[in-house]
Structure 1
Amino acid sequence: MARWKINLLVLWFGQFLVFAGMTMITPFLPLYIKTLGVTEEHAVAMWAGFIFAGNFVTSFLAQPIWGNLSDRYGRKVMLLRSGFGMAVVIALMGLATHPWQLLLLRLVNGTISGYSPAAVALMSSNTPRNKMGFAMGTLQSGSVAGSILGPFLGGLLADWIGYRYIFYVTGALLFSASVLSMLLVKEKFNPEEAARQPKVSTLEGLSQLRHIPQLPALYTVTFLIQFSMLSVMPLIPLFVEKLVGPSEQIAFFAGLVSSVTGFSNMLAAPLLGKLADRIGHERVLRIALIGSSVAFVPQIFVQSIWQLLAARFFLGIFMGGLLPAVNALIRKFTPNGMESRAYSFNSSSLALGNMLGPVIGGAVSGFMSIRALFAVSACLLALNALWVRRNLVARRRGV
């Protein structure tokens, strides 16, 4: 088996374990906050938004720094630094006794995070260009496969062992992913050649990349994708609670809603990646954005949990083509030797969307329902498709 295929297989499992661990807390985060002494519904939504976004505040600031170091010292070391560090920090979240402690740990976690960006950068620099779409789509399917089982298992375990112990399980999964990467991933990286490259600061690196017009456009696309998707996520458990009514299985159904989107995403990502290798990543990105926009519309009108599950499954199909296409396009337009730096700025854009989406979603929940937020997300994704046509497709055609 070719080395890039071995790396892809190992990193697929690594992504699976990381995202399974990270998303296990998603279904019960607002419910966990209630156990920490917060009971008023809007206050719970506000805390959930800030805590969910806290990870991405520091990640937004730290990722370009890690990306710069990754281009100098290698991507594998970034995998291990992030994986082992997050394993410890997330396990400590199980000891929190007040929401501010949970928020502080999420901020620390964001500072040391970066397993997924490092995995993407490693694969992009060790994969043949004509296989890039397939590799990015398959890697994405590993993360969403973890996202399928993560919320589902989190919802089950919340009912069986309680909220706190899930953080210890998450830490163990992240530790396992890091050990797997340490033992099996091999990287083509020449430290002597990297040392000969001019040393540039993070801001200088951004200045070099911004002169490639497609890259700032792609960073904007990533931000809008994440903002649209994540603005509703902290409110999903509360929305499920209203659809289901009084029930002891609220955490289970909240996990199922998150999992069904990941399941269809996992199925679609490799297929859309192969399609992109044939017809172009720009075209697949536009199709996926339009489809995601349309998929949000039925969520505005759902009246039962089963209708919501069907609508979220439909959304996941198109989500499978979004970030893999963006990642493949970044590699296409990035000069050799600057891959990690380019992906780190994209990770910052992703983190900014992840940060502002939940915060704004939680902040406006007092005067705008989640159904209205579904409508806002649909409009943003439609506008994003127009942005792609104007700044990528038209530019490629020389229009």
Structure 2
Amino acid sequence: MTNRLPILVILATVTIDAMGIGLIIPVMPDLIGEVMGGDLADAAIWGGILATVFAVMQFLCGPLLGNLSDRYGRRRVLLVSLAVMSADYVIMALANSMWLLVVGRIIAGITAATYATALAYMADISKPEDKAKAFGLIGAGIGIGFVLGPALGGLLAQFGTRAPFWAAAILAGGNALLGWFVLKETVTDATRRAFEWRRANPLGALEALGRLPSMSKLLVVFFLYQVAAAVYPAIWPYFIIERFGWGEGMIGLSLTAYGLCYAIVQATLIGPTVKWLGNRRTVVVGLTLEAVALVYLGIIDTGLLLFIGIPIAALSTVGLPALQGIMSRRVSDDAQGELQGISSSLTSLAHILAPLVMTQTFAYFSSDHAILYLPGAPFLLAALLMVFSIVVFQNSRGGK
């Protein structure tokens, strides 16, 4: 990577995006209860619906924006996405009905291609052997955002459930303004590709990548990983309230602790681990640790054990950047945006399925009529999916 300033701007972009997400997580249970009433289980189910709406739009628009960035440039897509995202947070801050919250999540899903475009930008400016490390830096930026976001969200919650949304709107708008002056374009005439609606179709794009040699199993592994990992944003605040009786402040603190550990792992361990073990063994180690961490979270019953398990959960995230590195090295330079758009679509498909399944599982196993009271059941379900992903990956081939 030869130009550090664009890297810093891209990392700032994903950091602020993650801050915006982390800002609102601590207040979502109370916000939903404030808008529509009901108990915690009802709030969790509606939270799952809002997350699914977001993911549906992300799935539909991910390949479109990825292909647009291949044609018109990463810079333009990033700036427009950030500006609209800022407006979306204003809508969420003013929403007084579930329908307005749904509209806000629709807009947020459309603009959420920032992550995929940021990955494509990093792929553009990285050497093949540095791609896993570059993706790890993106993960570190997200981790830093989750350190700062939940902590700030927990503090702002004392001013009301809407205060974090106003803060997120200001952050996204400010980052768009910064990017306007600083961000440089990486798509050149040599790598620019004509836009084709066929390739922008989410299902058509998935079929295109599925035809690449030995890519299908890696895509399955990536999808299973994303389904399992989606248990965290889908369940965390509701699980924390039900299991430990904590409020917004402690929810924010627990997310901050996880984000800090995550950022440290992504910033310092990805490169050395891949150099030491290679991409494939790093993926296996990461997936195995993920399964262990999910089982642990599923059975704990005290807050102290939660904080003890957070570093293990963060350490397990070494596997995803290595998997992304393997996938990125198997496509040409003029298709990096398309790859990240498809990766975004797979993530969105996972986030369409996971919130509904995980929140329904949580609602049942935390209810009075459950055959077994086990609020951590969604984590155990996610652990099973992670184990299956290990089996599929071990049967794939290629990529060191």
Q: Report the TM-score, using the length of structure 1 for normalisation.
A: 0.91
- Which of the residues 364, 370, 375 maps onto 1:370? 375
Pick which of 269-278 and 352-361 moved more: 269-278
Q: CA deviation at 1:384?
A: 1.0
Looking at structure 2, the residues matched to 300 and 263 of structure 1 have their Cα atoms a distance apart, in angstroms, of: 22
Structure 1 residues 234 and 209: alpha-carbon distance in aligned structure 2, compared to 1, 3 A threshold:
closer
What percentage of aligned pairs have identical amino acids? Answer: 24
Which residue number in structure 1 is paired with residue 164 of structure 2? Answer: 166
Which residue number in structure 1 is paired with residue 393 of structure 2? Answer: 388
Q: Retained in 2: the 8 A contact 1:230–1:353? A: yes
Q: CA deviation at 1:350?
A: 0.8
Looking at structure 2, the residues matched to 208 and 358 of structure 1 have their Cα atoms a distance apart, in angstroms, of: 27
Pick which of 187-196 and 208-217 moved more: 187-196
Show structure 2 runs of 5+ residues with no match: 366-373
Structure 1 residues 336 and 39: alpha-carbon distance in aligned structure 2, compared to 1, 3 A threshold:
same
Aligned counterparts, 1:1-399, within 5 A: 2-3=2-3, 5-159=4-158, 161-191=159-189, 194=192, 201-203=199-201, 205-245=205-245, 250-270=247-267, 271-319=269-317, 321-368=318-365, 369-391=374-396, 394-395=397-398
**Secondary structure of the structure 1 residue equivalent to 2:25:** coil
Q: For residues 281-322 of structure 1, give each alpha carbon's deviation from its aligned partner in whole angstroms, at most 9, with x where no partner exists.
A: 222111100011111222223222121122123101112x13
**Secondary structure of the structure 2 residue equivalent to 1:370:** coil
Q: CA deviation at 1:91?
A: 1.7
Pick which of 366-375 and 352-361 moved more: 366-375
Q: CA deviation at 1:117?
A: 0.8
Looking at structure 2, the residues matched to 80 and 217 of structure 1 have their Cα atoms a distance apart, in angstroms, of: 34
Show structure 1 runs of 5+ residues with no match: none
Q: CA deviation at 1:278?
A: 4.8
Structure 1 residues 185 and 22: alpha-carbon distance in aligned structure 2, compared to 1, 3 A threshold:
same
The one-letter code of the counterpart of 1:289 is L
Q: Retained in 2: the 8 A contact 1:244–1:250? A: no
**Secondary structure of the structure 2 residue equivalent to 1:24:** helix
Looking at structure 2, the residues matched to 195 and 382 of structure 1 have their Cα atoms a distance apart, in angstroms, of: 38
Looking at structure 2, the residues matched to 35 and 216 of structure 1 have their Cα atoms a distance apart, in angstroms, of: 44
The one-letter code of the counterpart of 2:99 is W
The one-letter code of the counterpart of 2:341 is S
CA RMSD of aligned residues (A): 2.2
Q: Retained in 1: the 8 A contact 2:75–2:183? A: yes
Q: CA deviation at 1:378?
A: 1.5
Pick which of 372-381 and 36-45 moved more: 36-45
Q: How many residues align?
A: 389
Q: CA deviation at 1:145?
A: 0.8
Q: For residues 38-89 of structure 1, give each alpha carbon's deviation from its aligned partner in whole angstroms, at most 9, with x where no partner exists.
A: 2233221111111123211110111111111111111111111111111111
Q: Retained in 1: the 8 A contact 2:291–2:386? A: yes
Q: For residues 380-399 of structure 1, give each alpha carbon's deviation from its aligned partner in whole angstroms, at most 9, with x where no partner exists.
A: 112111211112xx4559xx
Looking at structure 2, the residues matched to 6 and 277 of structure 1 have their Cα atoms a distance apart, in angstroms, of: 25
Structure 1 residues 165 and 218: alpha-carbon distance in aligned structure 2, compared to 1, 3 A threshold:
same
Looking at structure 2, the residues matched to 123 and 324 of structure 1 have their Cα atoms a distance apart, in angstroms, of: 12
Q: Report the TM-score, using the length of structure 2 for normalisation.
A: 0.91
Looking at structure 1, the residues matched to 107 and 293 of structure 2 have their Cα atoms a distance apart, in angstroms, of: 35
The one-letter code of the counterpart of 1:183 is F
Q: Retained in 2: the 8 A contact 1:220–1:349? A: no
Q: Retained in 2: the 8 A contact 1:25–1:167? A: yes
Q: Retained in 2: the 8 A contact 1:73–1:191? A: no
Q: CA deviation at 1:230?
A: 1.9
Q: For residues 85-128 of structure 1, give each alpha carbon's deviation from its aligned partner in whole angstroms, at most 9, with x where no partner exists.
A: 11111121011111222022101210122111111101101111
Q: Retained in 1: the 8 A contact 2:79–2:179? A: yes
